[in-house]
Amino acid sequence: MSGRIVCFGELLLRLAAPGRELLLQSPALEVRIGGAEANVGVSLARFGHDVGMLGTVADNALGRAALGELRRHGVDTRAVRMAGGRMGLYFLATGAGHRPSEVLYDRAASAFASAPASGYDWDALLRGAAWLHLSGVTPALGAATAAAAADAVRAAVASGVRVSFDGNFRPKLWAAWDGDPATILRPLLEGAEIAFADHRDIDVVLGAEAGDPPDTHEQRFARAARRAFEAFPRLQRIACTTRVQSSVEHHALGALMATRGGGLHRVEPRELPAIVDRIGGGDAFAAGVLHGLVLGWDDADSLRFGHAAGCLKHAVPGDFNLCDADDVMALVRGERLDVKR
């Protein structure tokens, strides 16, 4: 594999109601480890890449368990800081039929959210890295994490480390403080070479374009991509998934990628009729696209691999996509779904 990839973000504990129950419908919660950037890191490690996690976790049994789970999947956690405080949590009630899933965040004043930006030595943390991946979740947590994300991107650009940025706009997190998403997210997009974002993410930063919107998602994405390429000269590619939902358990997932040269690649939607867990699907998609680009694949092949990885994640419980590269390639090739014996 070519080049080390480091991911900066918060490790979370996910506390989910069992099955399709509402939260505390019965007195039980299932615990898993997650976090947008960690999800990407685990996928890339399982695809065979050299991956390191960056950030801060609580210096207690929960933080150590979270780091241990990442190590179990091949992610290097030696650079993650441990500090006093608590782990960030989120609670999940998985929907059913036409009742949507719901996420409740409990991340305020976590060890990660409270860590001062000055505590990260980015020159040291990025040494030897080829890529830095981060997302819009981190700056949404507050002023300290917003400053840390901006510092990370500045240091990466200065040292020649390529930046991958996932928009991951979370209105509930931004609403908890007085941060301005447009102002805070802009320097992250300015430093990125690839962005995982759709037209809504671009509108958050650049403002909605005047006039009637185009008729289709693809047209809206293409127009937003042109605006982003004009605003951010470093940006080379923008990719996103498309999703049509028949019910909570049945979606159709497609994918789009726009390139600075004017290319527009698409993967036709695949029906996902028996979804197990959609959380982390976008992170699996991002990891799959990055996998192809890091290996030097062309844009179309990278997008197909990312799309297949995102589809497979919907059949894996938990935040992490635990499918390896051979599993993803089997779906890309359309291999039969016979039992593997």
Q: What is the mean pLDDT of residues 157-185?
A: 94
Q: What is the mean pLDDT of residues 60-72?
A: 98
| pLDDT above 70: percentage of residues in the chain | 99
221, 251 contact by CB (below 8 A): no
Q: What is the mean pLDDT of residues 327-333?
A: 96
Query: Which of these ranges, 207-221, 230-244, 252-266, has the smallest mean pLDDT?
Result: 207-221
- From the list 188, 167, 179, the residue with the least C-alpha distance to 141 is 179
Q: What is the mean pLDDT of residues 42-53?
A: 98
Residue 218 in tokens? 């693809």
Residue 55 pLDDT > 60, yes or no? yes
* Confidence (pLDDT) at 211: 75
79, 41 contact by CB (below 8 A): no
Domain boundaries, the chain: 4-332
Q: Rounded to 5 degrees, what are φ and ψ at 110?
A: -70, 165
CA-to-CA distance for 182 and 301, rounded, in angstroms? 32
Residue 38 pLDDT > 80, yes or no? yes
* Confidence (pLDDT) at 74: 98
* Confidence (pLDDT) at 213: 73
Residue 151 in tokens? 């510092």
Band (pLDDT 50/70/90 cuts) for residue 166 is very high
pLDDT digit string, tens, across residues 139-149: 999 999 999 99
* Confidence (pLDDT) at 259: 98
Band (pLDDT 50/70/90 cuts) for residue 2 is low
Averaged pLDDT score across all residues of the chain: 96
Residue 89 pLDDT > 70, yes or no? yes
Q: Which amino acid is at 221?
A: F
Residue 81 pLDDT > 60, yes or no? yes
Band (pLDDT 50/70/90 cuts) for residue 210 is confident
Band (pLDDT 50/70/90 cuts) for residue 1 is low
* Confidence (pLDDT) at 336: 79
CA-to-CA distance for 17 and 121, rounded, in angstroms? 39
* Confidence (pLDDT) at 144: 97
59, 84 contact by CB (below 8 A): yes
Q: Distance of alpha carbon 92 from its chain centroid, rounded?
A: 17
* Confidence (pLDDT) at 337: 77
Please classify residue 193 by burial: count the beta carbons closer than 10 Å to its beta carbon, then call 0-12 exposed, 13-18 middle and 19+ buried.
Answer: middle
Q: What is the mean pLDDT of residues 193-201?
A: 96
* Confidence (pLDDT) at 97: 95
* Confidence (pLDDT) at 145: 98
Looking at 2.40.50.140, 3.40.50.150, 3.40.190.80, 3.40.1190.20, the CATH number of the domain 4-332 comes to 3.40.1190.20
